[in-house]
Amino acid sequence: MARYLFRRILFLPLVLLVLLTASFFLMRAAPGDPFANERGRDPEIQKNLKAKYHLDKPLWVQYGIFLKNLLQGDLGLSTKYKDRTVNEIVAGHLPPSVLLGVIALLLALVVGVATGTVAAVRQNTVFDYSTMAVAMVGISAPTFVVGPLLVLVFAYYLHWFPITGWGSWHELILPAVTLALPFTARISRLMRTGMLEIIRQEFIKTARAKGLTETRIVLRHAIRGALLPVISYLGPATAEIMTGSLVVEKIFQVPGIGYEFVNSALNRDYSLVLGLVAVFGTLLVFMNLLVDIVYGLLDPRIRYE
């Protein structure tokens, strides 16, 4: 395991370098520039702006400057938000997205694992059919439909929660539930499938023959193996839940990074795009590494050579 971890950690910078290099040249290859929409601007001002952001230099020089700044922890200046660094934008908008994502992910894990486990243990019952039907709806229903419906019912009619806002715990509930719903549905289905496969194994039959209760069999013997598909899903799901909250943040007016992520690409804000790619790319590769570690700990049959 130690050798495997060392090798994976050694390759992490290379993976991020490839990702950032591809993103850098793809952004530069896109038509237009960050100042193309500024009509009637004096050519001298346009020239000075390009010089300020090093856009007047050859492409390979721009790439070298980008890598040098990145190694120093400097993500550059935003071309959209004048005189604001990408570090400041990320530091200001990332925490709300992370908080919302963590709450939604924990909610999805708890509810998804619990409902999937019970559905598998009570296979072909009303609970099983109804849970999987709700899970299918959760996967199919887009967040831009679920969010307004939750606002209409629980905020407008019942007045249980505020319609929008950010700061207090009750303002977190509706956006977290909206964001968690599709992930809860997928985790529930994955958990049910994994549990059904495990409870048919010979060692489960042996445990039943020894007189162990069904609850103890599930909690002590079956759930560990049934979690493996869920653990595999958590790596990309974590990155997706952090970056896929654009619609939720827009509906509930959450001051997160999702809106900036999309807007930066539309505005040709090169520095902000690359800074956010670096942040989310780092999150993704580290989550995948963590998933591999947990996967090996849960399943003793797996050996990393």
Cα-based distances in Å from 285 to 17, 199, 203, 204, 256:
12, 32, 35, 35, 21
The mean pLDDT value for 78-90 works out to 83
Beta strands in the chain (DSSP E): none
The mean pLDDT value for 25-38 works out to 72
* pLDDT band of 302, cuts 50, 70, 90: low
C-beta of residue 136 within 8 angstroms of C-beta of residue 273: no
Query: Can you give the pLDDT at residue 115?
Result: 92
% of the chain residues with pLDDT over 90: 9
In the numeric block, the tokens 């719903």 are attached to: 181
> pLDDT tens, 191-232?
999 888 888 888 888 888 888 887 888 888 788 888 888 888
Query: Is the pLDDT at 305 greater than 60, yes or no?
Result: no
Helices (H) and strands (E) in the chain, counts: 14, 0
* pLDDT band of 300, cuts 50, 70, 90: low
C-beta of residue 143 within 8 angstroms of C-beta of residue 180: no
> pLDDT tens, 89-107?
888 888 888 888 889 999 9
Q: Which of 111-115, 154-158, 161-165 has the lowest mean pLDDT?
A: 161-165
pTM greater than the 0.75 cutoff: yes
Q: Which residues are within 8 A (CB) of 44 and not within 5 positions of it... i.e. 6 or more apart?
A: none
> pLDDT tens, 222-272?
888 888 888 888 877 877 776 657 778 888 888 888 777 777 877 778 888
Cα-based distances in Å from 248 to 52, 93, 181:
35, 14, 12
Sign of CA dihedral 286, 102, 241, 267: negative
% of the chain residues with pLDDT over 70: 91
Length of the chain: 305
> pLDDT tens, 136-155?
888 888 888 888 888 888 88
Query: Is the pLDDT at 111 greater than 90, yes or no?
Result: yes
C-beta of residue 291 within 8 angstroms of C-beta of residue 234: yes
Query: Can you give the pLDDT at residue 187?
Result: 92
Query: Can you give the pLDDT at residue 106?
Result: 92
Of 50 and 108, more confident: 108
For each of the domains in the chain, give its residue range(s) and CATH number, in order of start. Answer: 2-71 (no CATH), 90-298 (1.10.3720.10)
Mean pLDDT over the full length of the chain: 82
**Phi-psi sector, 213: left (phi>0), alpha (psi -120 to 50), beta:** beta
Interatomic CA distance for residues 239 and 183, integer angstroms: 12
Q: Which residues are within 8 A (CB) of 151 and not within 5 positions of it... i.e. 6 or more apart?
A: 163, 174, 251, 252
Name all contacts of 238-243 with Cβ < 8 Å and 24+ positions apart. Answer: 238/101, 238/105, 238/283, 238/284, 238/287, 239/280, 239/283, 239/284, 239/287, 241/101, 241/104, 241/105, 241/108, 241/179, 241/183, 242/97, 242/98, 242/101, 242/280, 242/283, 243/280
Cα-based distances in Å from 132 to 179, 186, 258:
19, 10, 30
